[in-house]
Chains A and B, each alone.
Chain A
Amino acid sequence: MSHDHDHEHTEPPSDLELRVKALESLLVEKGLVKPETLNAIIETYEHKIGPRNGAHVVAKAWTDSEFKQALKNDATEAVASLGYCGRGGEHLQVVENTNDTHNLIVCTLCSCYPWTMLGLPPTWYKSAPYRSRAVSDPRGVLEEFGTRINEKSIIKVWDSTSEMRYLVLPQRPEGTENWSEQDLQKLVSRNSMVGVELARSPEQKDKGDK
């Protein structure tokens, strides 16, 4: 019998794992949290709320000029009309990329992010390298994501220091004139709504990554 294949599972738990387990037991025992509530919270952010929400909003804005205008006027209200509201989306602002302006979102002080639109932020968004350089060297940061912005374009970096939460409205890719809203959603990556990438081109539709 080989033990090699499940080696990882038999490693003793780390100090950190034990510390978190002990804390959870303590809080449950004291009646401060309910285990089933913890599971419901995890389920919500792991499976229910994610970048699909934002992709829905962006694709609708690409195909419905009235909705796009509403989104620019009051994004919180506009996305609520599609059923999106709640924690981390109360003061939503949508910033639109154009031929001469590219927008990039960061939170240099912590990890503020439009939860109702994109779910929880990816690790890189919360990391020191991104938080430090997005403001001081946005073009260098974009290159690390393989994104090149025209030298003549303005890059606007939005540092989320208040409860305002920013979502980038990327440009609609060329060659998608007759596409349905549903097909367009597949072109709206999470990264394009943070501004580190552009929306996927039609050729990249089913690839998942750029």
Chain B
Amino acid sequence: MKGGHDLGGQSEMGPINPELESQEPVFHADWERRVFALTIATGMLGKWNIDESRHARERQDPLAYIQNSYYKNWLEGLEKLLLEKSLVDTEELVLAANISSQINESLLAPNPSLAKRMLAINTFSTMKTDSEQLFRIGDSVLVKVSETAGHTRAPRYAQGVVGTIAAQLGCYNFPDSSAQGIHEGKFLYRVTFSGVDLWSHSSAQDEVLIDLWEPYLEAAIN
């Protein structure tokens, strides 16, 4: 999806103006704390995965995405997911009216100790597969131009550019399918791009390394 989130290489975004590390709080307002916690807590209900959650934030007018603060985008995404997964309805959310305390299914809202345990365990994204990897270390690969209207993790700035397979990372949950609720594994590769192949002004020796799934790639003709 050509959304406002796909920012790599975009120009005229202005200076970074970082806050001093010693002075920056974790949250800058109480509502940010609450949006963060609401997102993590509702995520624990198991009604959506990380890719659906990212995709929900991305599905916005590109300009709105860029102009919104970070946690405003989280809020937009969270409200969208709650509606789409029928955990709340529009009347309740927009009109704050007719709140029904009834939920159609039994969902377990974790208590604090369960939530802390869920945050402290590793949930791996690796998957099993019987298929063979298409690419080997050292192969030249071209990143296909994405036609998808959905979620993808192939950044636009690398599409149509040739890179080199630097590592085979294994088989991982494929985000493009995962964002649609489909759980399937695809091979993941670390691909090295020479800066000059991506940007005309790059220093000759600089590199960009991107983790890319096999369906994003095709063999490049040397």
Q: Is A159's CB under 8 angstroms from B210's CB?
A: yes
Q: Is B169's CB under 8 angstroms from A122's CB?
A: no
Q: Is B149 at the interface (CB under 8 A from chain A)? A: no
Q: Is B18's CB under 8 angstroms from A145's CB?
A: yes
Closest to B65 in A: A128
Q: Is A160's CB under 8 angstroms from B36's CB?
A: no
Q: A33-B109, A41-B40, A157-B208 are in contact. Are A16 and B72 (CB under 8 A)?
A: yes
Mask, B196-208, CB within 8 Å of A = 1, is 0011011101111
Q: Is A82 at the interface (CB under 8 A from chain B)? A: no
Q: Is B142 at the interface (CB under 8 A from chain A)? A: no
Mask, A186-209, CB within 8 Å of B = 1, is 000111000010000000000011
Q: Is A129's CB under 8 angstroms from B16's CB?
A: yes
Closest to A110 in B: B54
- In whole Å, how far is A160's beta carbon from the nearest beta carbon of chain B? 7
- In whole Å, how far is A1's beta carbon from the nearest beta carbon of chain B? 27
**A contact residues, range:** 35 or more
Q: Is A23's CB under 8 angstroms from B19's CB?
A: no
Q: Is A109's CB under 8 angstroms from B5's CB?
A: yes
Closest to B96 in A: A22
Mask, B129-153, CB within 8 Å of A = 1, is 0000000000000000000000001
Assembly CA distance A32 to B109 (angstroms): 5
Q: Which of B38, B202, B209 lies in contact with A158, CB distance below 8 A?
A: B209
- In whole Å, how far is B67's beta carbon from the nearest beta carbon of chain A? 9
Q: Is A41's CB under 8 angstroms from B41's CB?
A: yes
Mask, A57-97, CB within 8 Å of B = 1, is 00000000000000000001000100001110111000000
- In whole Å, how far is B105's beta carbon from the nearest beta carbon of chain A? 11
- In whole Å, how far is B135's beta carbon from the nearest beta carbon of chain A? 15
Closest to B74 in A: A111
Mask, B165-209, CB within 8 Å of A = 1, is 000010011010000000000001000000000110111011111
- In whole Å, how far is B122's beta carbon from the nearest beta carbon of chain A? 5
Contacts of B214 in A (CB 8 A): none
Residue from B8, B110, B157, B207 with most neighbouring chain A CB atoms (10 Å)? B8
- In whole Å, how far is B155's beta carbon from the nearest beta carbon of chain A? 5
Q: Is A4 at the interface (CB under 8 A from chain B)? A: no
Q: Is B5's CB under 8 angstroms from A129's CB?
A: no
Q: Is A135's CB under 8 angstroms from B198's CB?
A: yes
Q: A30-B88, A41-B40 are in contact. Are A139 and B109 (CB under 8 A)?
A: no
Q: Is B124's CB under 8 angstroms from A37's CB?
A: no
Assembly CA distance A37 to B9 (angstroms): 39
| Chain B residues packing against A (C-beta within 8 Å) | 5-11, 13-24, 26-31, 33-38, 40-42, 45, 50, 54, 57, 66, 70, 72, 75, 78-79, 82, 87-88, 92-93, 96, 99-101, 103, 107, 109-113, 115-116, 118-126, 153-155, 157, 169, 172-173, 175, 188, 198-199, 201-203, 205-213
Interface pairs A-B: 9 shortest CB-CB: A108-B8, A208-B22, A162-B211, A40-B112, A38-B37, A124-B18, A132-B10, A131-B7, A163-B125
